[in-house]
Structure 1
Amino acid sequence: MSLALLAALLGTFGYGAGSVLQSIGTSRARGVMVVRQPTYVAGLVCDGVAWLASLLALRALPLFAVQALLAGSLAVTVVLARIVLHARLRVRDWVASGVITVALVVLAASAGPLSAQGPPRPFELTVLVGLGILAVATVVASRRARSVELAVLGGLAFSGAALCARAAHTSGSWGTLLHEPLAWAVLGYGALGMIGYTGALEHGAVGPATAILWVVEVAVPAVVGVWVLGDTVRAGWVVPAVVALVLALGACVVLSSSPSGSHG
């Protein structure tokens, strides 16, 4: 459990730093040319490390806990944006960051034992069909060039990646994952998530885009994880977990309007 928590925290800081670096990169180039920006590439590396860390965390913690911990990266993003981009940080931003920190501690403490049950039979087909639909929607949204739409789609894509990773975990060992359609779906959803988030950063500020992304990416896997994949909460911790989740999401909304997220 402690290793999983450390992995989730590594993911938190990795995603936070990656968001700021990618924001800088997308402010200097557009489209495919952004991959020639060293800061953007560095941001991708941070995201890659964070993503691998999240996969490790998912092998011992339920989805709602891992995704909420990773959402704490928004607080990291806002603070780093203040340092790197020299934006003003409001009192409410400090308060929201503190609320997120406390809420994530409660969520981590409320995580119950990971269920060993496999996903229901229709799950695999559903996520594969969803991958195709999301790919079409992302192409259409990219042409419309609207940050909010792209951020929502990016959040849904990363949600799909997390759900597939969680479901693949119960289907076998690491060595068997290469033969799992769900494992390959993780890569597809992850790629769509990166495309959607990059587009959101190109056409909007890093704060709102990241906040929308994480609200979707926490809420969707939390609901599906508990109701479909059998994730559990410790006895007596349901109410604290729900309150902490709501507070964390509310703090994300507050941070989304932070001046530290105005660069984009």
Structure 2
Amino acid sequence: MICALASSVCFGAASVFQAMAARAAEPGTGSGVDVALMWRALRQWRYIAGLGMDGLGFALQIVALRTLPIYVVGAALAASLAVTAVIASRVLHVRLKRVEWTAVGVVCAGLAMLAVASGKEGHREVPDALPWALLAVAFGVLLLGMVAGRLPPRSRALVLGLGAGFGFGVVEVAVRLIDGIDFADPAWYALLVGGGAAFLLLTSALQRGAVTTATAGAVLGETVGPAVVGVVWLGDRTREGLGWLAVTGFAVAVAGSLTLARFGEPPAPADEAGPGSAGTPLEVGHDPAPERNPGTP
């Protein structure tokens, strides 16, 4: 559980750096997934720093996934939005509303319930088709990103975010299926393709879509599906008689995270940001109106 929470802290801090770098990168000409966007973002030192935090968070996530049920780890990862919100309030001087501070407390309460109710990870023999199904979903995430470019802006943000969440969910399940280094195992390729596709779609969603919509989609995609797979196919269970507490804690933690969805991309610091940096993230595709000169009609 300590590793799961530490992973959440790493991901929450990384999102601050990565989102700022994604916005600072030169935008592409298309409306969907921009493959070159990640390379442009890599020129930003903040994106490199964020990737380093993501690497550490992923290592901690692997440890957590090997010892905890997926539903616990997934909820902890969604709670990274609470970490981002707190960092934004302290470092970027973003004013949190009362409901958002309440949501931070709700997320913590949900994680506490899960910590009490969760049992060990399951060891059920998985169907042979499950790794191949994961690989198919991973490639499906890439296809989803291509289709998203044809959708209206609001729907595009949701689909890109949801697709990124599915990709991260594939990674969560694949980590549980991998047993040693075996490159003939499709779960390895599902992990690589799913993780890469998730980063690509999420980076595109941060630059091209409404932050709240994209982040909410990602939270739902990376929590609900993997939790169901863990319970149904991998044998994840709760402590005896505490199933109700685990379900409640999971729902509470995810609901609190969705309330904090706007912190999927906090605003840039005041000395670097332009209009819109005083506590509310700019929606992509809605440029601030230029200032009028005195006397100009």
Give yes or no for TM over 0.5.
yes
Partner of residue 183 from structure 1, selected from 176, 188, 193: 188
Does 1:219 find its partner at 2:229? no
Partner of residue 17 from structure 1, selected from 2, 13, 18: 13
Q: Is the alpha carbon distance of 1:211 and 1:76 closer, same or farther for their aligned partners in structure 2, counting shifts above 3 Å?
A: farther
For 1:263 and 1:86, the matched residues in 2 are separated by 13
| Structure with greater helix percent | 1
Q: Is the alpha carbon distance of 1:47 and 1:208 closer, same or farther for their aligned partners in structure 2, counting shifts above 3 Å?
A: farther
Greater gyration radius: 2
For 2:169 and 2:84, the matched residues in 1 are separated by 20
Does 1:247 find its partner at 2:261? no
One-letter amino acid of the counterpart of residue 14, structure 2: G
Equivalences for 1:150-165 in 2 at 5 Å? Answer: 150-165=160-175
Partner of residue 63 from structure 2, selected from 56, 68, 82: 56
Partner of residue 75 from structure 1, selected from 82, 85, 91: 82
For 2:118 and 2:220, the matched residues in 1 are separated by 19
For 1:86 and 1:203, the matched residues in 2 are separated by 24
- Structure 1 counterpart of 2:144: 137
The root-mean-square deviation of aligned C-alpha atoms, in Å, is 2.0
Deviating more after overlay: 151-160 vs 112-121:
112-121
Length-normalised TM-score, structure 1: 0.89
Question: Does the CA-based 8 Å contact 1:131-1:185 persist in structure 2?
Answer: yes
Question: Does the CA-based 8 Å contact 2:132-2:186 persist in structure 1?
Answer: no
The Cα of 1:143 is off from its aligned counterpart by 6.4
Structure 1: gaps (5+ residues): none
Q: Is the alpha carbon distance of 1:260 and 1:136 closer, same or farther for their aligned partners in structure 2, counting shifts above 3 Å?
A: closer
One-letter amino acid of the counterpart of residue 16, structure 1: G
Structure 2: gaps (5+ residues): 28-36, 268-279, 283-297
1:116 aligned counterpart, secondary structure: coil
Does 1:8 find its partner at 2:4? yes
The Cα of 1:87 is off from its aligned counterpart by 2.2
One-letter amino acid of the counterpart of residue 115, structure 1: G
Partner of residue 27 from structure 1, selected from 23, 28, 40: 23
Q: Identity of paired residues, percent? A: 33
Q: Is the alpha carbon distance of 1:208 and 1:44 closer, same or farther for their aligned partners in structure 2, counting shifts above 3 Å?
A: farther
For 2:23 and 2:132, the matched residues in 1 are separated by 39
